[in-house]
Structure 1
Amino acid sequence: MTKLTETQTIILSAGAQRPDNIALPLPKGLAGAAAKMAVSKMIEHGWLQEVDANLRRGEPLWRETGDGHGTTLVVTDAGLLAIGIEPVVVKTVAAIREHAVKAPPLKPPSQREGTKQALLIEMLGRPEGASIAEIVEATGWMSHSARGAISGVLKKKLALPVTSGKVEGRGTVYKLPA
């Protein structure tokens, strides 16, 4: 196995984890002549390759060419092998990520009738809303469970715009807009 410096290992490992094996950005503290020398040696060994940067996809630039285009650095199959990663594995992971992006969105959760969650939504939909005490009485839940259902299920999971406000004599009242 090839003997790599710590900097070379960091550059190759980071690039192997990025989409399309792009080696940029380089580690913090590596800039100027030191960066140029490290990259030049890695290109000589065949671990990195300079390719045209796709600016539309926001790929980072390594350098600009004289004709107005830019280049970026990509970890080659030899670079992956140098750090002990099989190129086939990286390509498979990239294909899985790409497939996940193209996968159809999951259908939104549906509401079942007659559940305590449906009762809670109905109570919050009333013009006067509902206080925690009223929710506890209607559902039989503990007060912390009622607050958890409002913040976790209704607000986060179902993305319902639940609002709350203090009402004298009732405490905090939760509502859904009409």
Structure 2
Amino acid sequence: MTKLTDTRTLILTRASARPGNLALPLPEGLHGAAAKMAIGRMIKLGWLEEVEANLRRNEPLWRETGDGHGTTLIATDAGLDAIGIDPVVIGTMAGLRDAKPEAIAAAQRPGTKQAQLIAMLQAPEGATIAEIAEATSWQHHSIRGAISGLLKKKLRLEVTSGKVDGRGRVYRLAGHVERAIR
């Protein structure tokens, strides 16, 4: 098993909180030959991928290709998995515009009740307050507070709800809609 060093963990964690999982800029103090070695190894492991930089969006350059183009680095699903972050949660967080990276990273920590709440609301069938309470051991008022405060206000996620026959009120993250079979 490949060792996950502090530098590799820092690069991947920061990338997970950036739009598009951009791995640049690198941590302060990591440059030159040390940066080339660290990034080269992470590319070989499949944790980072070199892609064409979108210069119109001012994406940071990893290297210039010589033909007027450049490349940047992005964290792959394997890289995110290496640090224990679920790529599905990252997909939801990518839709955030003005949220603070620290708030996004906190919600992405695997195994936390917040991550569990987000995963339940991302499921196509969504979740009821009772189902969330059973899974997290939270009180109903705490769940409603987490949805209102953490998800809607702090992370600026769009949470929808609607009544479903036989289940009651079901909550979902916008874009994760249950497909009714008729």
Give the TM-score category using the shorter length.
0.5 to 0.7
Amino acid at match of 1:13: T
Aligned amino acid, residue 12 of structure 1:
L
SS of aligned partner of 2:94: helix
Distance 1:74 1:99 in 2: 20
The alignment covers a number of residue pairs equal to: 99
Query: Contact 1:48/1:76 (CA < 8 Å) preserved in 2?
Result: yes
Separation in structure 1 between the aligned mates of residue 53 and residue 33 of structure 2, nearest angstrom: 22
> Could you say which residue in structure 1 is the equivalent of 2:60?
60
Kindly provide the amino acid, as one letter, of the partner of residue 18 in structure 2: R
Gap change, CA 1:8 and 1:98, over 3 Å in 2 = same
| Letter paired with 2:74 | V
The Cα shift of 1:16 comes to: 0.4
CA distance, structure 2, for counterparts of residue 72 and residue 16 of structure 1: 15
Partner of residue 6, structure 1: 6
Paired position in structure 2 for 1:84? 84
Tell me how far apart the structure 1 counterparts of residues 59 and 86 of structure 2 sit (CA, whole Å). Answer: 24
Larger radius of gyration: 1
Q: Would the aligned equivalents of 1:49 and 1:75 in 2 still touch at CA under 8 Å?
A: yes
Match of 1:44 in 2: 44
The root-mean-square deviation of aligned C-alpha atoms, in Å, is 1.7
Q: Which stretches in structure 2 are left out of the alignment for 5+ residues?
A: 100-182
Q: How far apart, CA to CA, are the structure 2 residues paired with 1:15 and 1:9?
A: 10
Q: Where do residues 138-177 of structure 1 align in structure 2 (5 Å cutoff)?
A: none
Matches within 5 A, 1:73-152: 73-95=73-95, 97=96
Pair 1:89–1:2, CA change in 2 (3 A)? farther
SS in 2 for 1:59: coil
1:67 is displaced (CA, Å) by 1.2
The normalised TM-score by structure 2 is 0.52
Higher relative contact order by CA 8 Å / sep ≥ 6: 1 or 2? 2
Q: For 2:49, give the aligned amino acid.
A: Q
In structure 2, the residue matched to 1:131 is none
